[in-house]
Structure 1
């Protein structure tokens, strides 16, 4: 799973608010433009962003394998018809282009995850969205980034334990039900322990957050974000 890794890349030096702005601008442009030329330019930009954050393409593909599998399956399902000609090529191409744009957005988000600490993500959100909504949103993002890898680890442990006990010999429905039930049990147990830990540490709604500051590189990246957002309207 993709997580933050300390490094000295350009992406690591950027302010998290800048990286969020680039992501928003990129997503807006990717969803607005469907021509092959636009997708080629966005693909080149995605490669540049991954290079700037030094993201491993293989690790990204492995981390997003389930989402990418669904995106690859979507054009096939969209093209199927109940009657002649049985497969609509135009519908499949339209769905395939949409899936490709979503995949590009996922790859750009991978660069953000690898280059941004959780505390700085929370600080960026709370300083962008004022008041209690920003605090709630920042806390939610921080908990998701910290809690999701733990839950994935629990599911992996459950699957390995089932395999060691010849659980692979059982039916797919039985295995899915067992994993789902044990996964939910572990998730609720983790949530209870998290709640207790937060109370024990005197959880604060507005803790001291890390300082954020824009540099010269940030202004260049913000210019890119504005250009991407502006291009979504043309």
Structure 2
């Protein structure tokens, strides 16, 4: 799956996680500040460069985020439709479509981060940036999410495949959503209980020994790009 760390030797793999986190924040700020055709065209080129530097294809990344597509596509359609004449207003629909595309670009950059950053490094970066107990709590939560989300995705995929093997794909969409949703929720709660038990059995520590982090010359271009994006967002 794309939404998990994969070892590699790409440019993004060699960057410090704090650099990548800062770049993501700057990219998101620029995307929200310049939601125009010209701005999004420039950010598309940046996102393409990020994916290339991460050895990650856009097709694979988008496949992992396909659950968000109904909302990203449905938003512009609902914004364009009206309950009376003229029935369709193109300008609101176009503005919402730009906002949806902005979200897609941010998701692509996030996928590159997840693909190239170990969970322990992400936790270490957050605890370096946010000091004290708040940083430990935030870092622990992020680490749990990064480890737990791929497991839940795999569970939902197995539930959907099992339902299709039992001719569940011949049911209506509402019935399919209900079956997969209820089974997925039950599986998530069960996994959460086992996860909590495993943490207690392993004497979970709030302050573990984290990997050392250090900036290198490879981080300089990425930091400069992040600062440029942040300045563009502010301007």
Residue 206 of structure 1 is matched in structure 2 by 207
Correspondence list, 1:70-219, <5 A: 70-219=71-220
Distance 2:67 2:124 in 1: 30
Query: What is the CA deviation profile of residues 175-213 of structure 1, one whole-angstrom value per residue up to 9, with x for unaligned ones?
Result: 332322222221111111111111111100010001100
Shift of 1:174: 3.2
Residue 24 of structure 1 is matched in structure 2 by 25
Aligned residues between the structures? 234
Shift of 1:65: 1.5
Which SS does the other structure have where 2:191 is aligned?
helix
Distance 2:48 2:107 in 1: 12
Report the CA distance shift for 1:98/1:172 in structure 2 as closer, same or farther (over 3 A).
closer
Distance 2:69 2:163 in 1: 26
- The answer for unaligned runs of 5 or more in structure 1 is none
Shift of 1:110: 1.0
Shift of 1:13: 0.3
Which SS does the other structure have where 2:160 is aligned?
helix
Query: What is the CA deviation profile of residues 36-63 of structure 1, one whole-angstrom value per residue up to 9, with x for unaligned ones?
Result: 2222211111111110001122211211
- The answer for unaligned runs of 5 or more in structure 2 is none
Residue 224 of structure 2 is matched in structure 1 by 223
Distance 2:120 2:107 in 1: 21
Instruction: Name the TM-score, length of structure 1 as normaliser.
Output: 0.95
Shift of 1:74: 1.6
Correspondence list, 1:64-75, <5 A: 64-75=65-76
Query: What is the CA deviation profile of residues 133-189 of structure 1, one whole-angstrom value per residue up to 9, with x for unaligned ones?
Result: 111111111111111111121122222222222223444333332322222221111
Report the CA distance shift for 1:66/1:22 in structure 2 as closer, same or farther (over 3 A).
same
